[in-house]
Amino acid sequence: MVKLRARCILVGDAAVGKSALSQMFRSDGAHFQKIYSMTAGVELLTKSVNVPNTSDSVELYIFDSPGREIFAEASEKMWGQPSVMCLVFDISSEASFSSCGRWLERVRAHCQGLQVPGVLVGNKSDLSSRREVETATAQEWAQSQGMEYFETSAKEMESCDAPFICLAQAFHTLYQDRLNTIQSIVSP
Amino acid sequence: MKTKDLRSSGTYVSLATSCDKNYPPEHIIDGNGETFWMSTGMFPQAFTISFPSPTEIADISLQSYNVKGLKIEKCISEEVGTFETLAERELEHTEELLQALKISLNTSTTLLRFTITSGYDHFVSVNEVHMSS
């Protein structure tokens, strides 16, 4: 049984629901922020996630970063060396999806060449009548970037845990890999 | 010059910021090159080695994997809290091979603190620390 710790960078355009998603996840659905309040600084949330089919867990330190450009640059300084990343867009906004590539580059610039597991999240799946980004399109792009794709609705408490569990699992797999590498060096 | 058998002299690892019970910090001073301590994510990571009484340390050697920035400090007061930096190094990246670092400290202390400020990977190992007086 081991408890891993991961620095999870949460990014995406302003008002796609990053804070709502992370707060729903953190509070197990008890806290949905009905009134939008723009994130200016970095909000830090922590939650432990059990890795499915193991007795291990990953404590996620979620760095909820502002999407608004004037705050984004300052908040990047808080990211440090990311362990995993969660990239969010709004399925009813094509523009927020097109920004994802730019956000990805931005986080990768902090990764110092390390493999950093990531997930792409299409939030606001409850707004399906106003959908501008097709599931298949998002899925395809996520795959091309080596990420898993999830659709969530923070408002309807739909699948909010899934992306974070996936990240915990991926980080846990990295840990096992590294253990095996070192094990094979010391006792070939 | 003699190499200390750290465990039998009552030396122990008094603190570590990561603990996987299969790869515990005790492995750092167990004299067995096949066992190691593994960090479990994020930096900095630290561990301290406590001695039962003030101990002379001439050289220290350390085997590790994927450690980048390393700082070694000693405690300089009766109560733990005040530290003096003895050495700061940036280790080279190795593959398929452990990092081996040797540093002359020529000091005396009851407690050493090792801080790993950064790594070449998310996870680093410290396999062995040896000291000679």
Task: Tell me the backbone φ, ψ of residue A183, rounded to 5 degrees.
Answer: -55, -40
* CATH number, domain with residue A8: 3.40.50.300
Could you give the percent of chain A with pLDDT greater than 70? 100
Is the pLDDT at B4 greater than 80? The verdict is no
Give residue B85's domain range: 12-132
The answer as to whether B2 is a domain residue is no
User: 3-state DSSP call for residue A125?
Assistant: helix
- Most confident listed range (A8-17, A32-41, A67-76, B6-15): A8-17
Number of domains composing chain A: 1
The answer as to whether B21 is a domain residue is yes
In this prediction, residue B1 carries a pLDDT of: 43
Number of H helices, E strands in chain A: 6, 6
d(CA A93, CA A178): 39
The answer as to whether B78 is a domain residue is yes
Give the nearest partner residue to B21 out of A1, A4, A181, using CB atoms: A1
pLDDT digits (tens, 9 = 90+) for A68-111: 999 988 899 999 999 999 999 999 999 999 999 999 999 999 99
Give mean pLDDT, residues A1-18.
96
Number of domains composing chain B: 1
pLDDT digits (tens, 9 = 90+) for B31-90: 999 999 999 999 999 999 999 999 999 999 999 999 999 999 999 887 777 999 999 999
Give mean pLDDT, residues A18-43.
91
As given in the structure block, the two tokens for residue A78 are 């808080």
Interface test with B, best of A85, A179, A186 (most B CBs within 10 A): A186
The answer as to whether B7 is a domain residue is no
The answer as to whether B4 is a domain residue is no
Asked if residues A43 and A89 have their Cβ atoms less than 8 Å apart, the reply is: no
Q: How far away is chain A from the Cα of B120, in angstroms, using its nearest Cα?
A: 8
pLDDT digits (tens, 9 = 90+) for B5-27: 676 678 999 999 999 999 999 99
Instruction: Please answer yes or no on whether B98 and A187 come within 8 Å at the CB atom.
Output: no
Flag whether residue A32 sits within 8 Å of chain B, measured between CB atoms.
no
Total Cβ atoms within 10 A of residue B91: 21
In this prediction, residue A34 carries a pLDDT of: 85
The answer as to whether B118 is a domain residue is yes
d(CA B112, CA B54): 11
In this prediction, residue B9 carries a pLDDT of: 78
Burial of A113 (0-12, 13-18, 19+ CB in 10 A): exposed
Instruction: Please answer yes or no on whether A185 and B96 come within 8 Å at the CB atom.
Output: yes
Interface of B with A in 32-61 (CB under 8 A): 33-36, 38, 40-43
* CATH number, domain with residue B29: 2.60.120.260
Beta-strand ranges (E) seen in B3-124 are 12-16, 37-38, 45-65, 67-75, 83-90, 99-119
Give mean pLDDT, residues B125-132.
95
Flag whether residue B8 sits within 8 Å of chain A, measured between CB atoms.
no
User: 3-state DSSP call for residue A70?
Assistant: helix
Give residue A118's domain range: 3-186
In this prediction, residue B39 carries a pLDDT of: 98
Instruction: Please answer yes or no on whether A6 and B65 come within 8 Å at the CB atom.
Output: no
Which of A1-5, A33-37, A144-148, A158-162 shows the lowest per-residue confidence on average (mean pLDDT)?
A: A33-37
Could you give the percent of chain A with pLDDT greater than 90? 87
**Which comes out higher in pLDDT, residue B1 or A9?**
A9
Is the pLDDT at A143 greater than 80? The verdict is yes
Give the nearest partner residue to B36 out of A6, A7, A186, using CB atoms: A186
ipTM: 0.91
In this prediction, residue B3 carries a pLDDT of: 58
Cα dihedral B89→B20→A117→B69 (10° resolution): 0
Query: CA-nearest residue of chain A to B98?
Result: A185
Burial of A145 (0-12, 13-18, 19+ CB in 10 A): middle
pLDDT digits (tens, 9 = 90+) for B94-110: 999 999 999 999 999 99
Contacts of A53 by beta carbon, 8 Å cutoff, 6+ apart? none
In this prediction, residue B7 carries a pLDDT of: 67
Is the pLDDT at A167 greater than 80? The verdict is yes
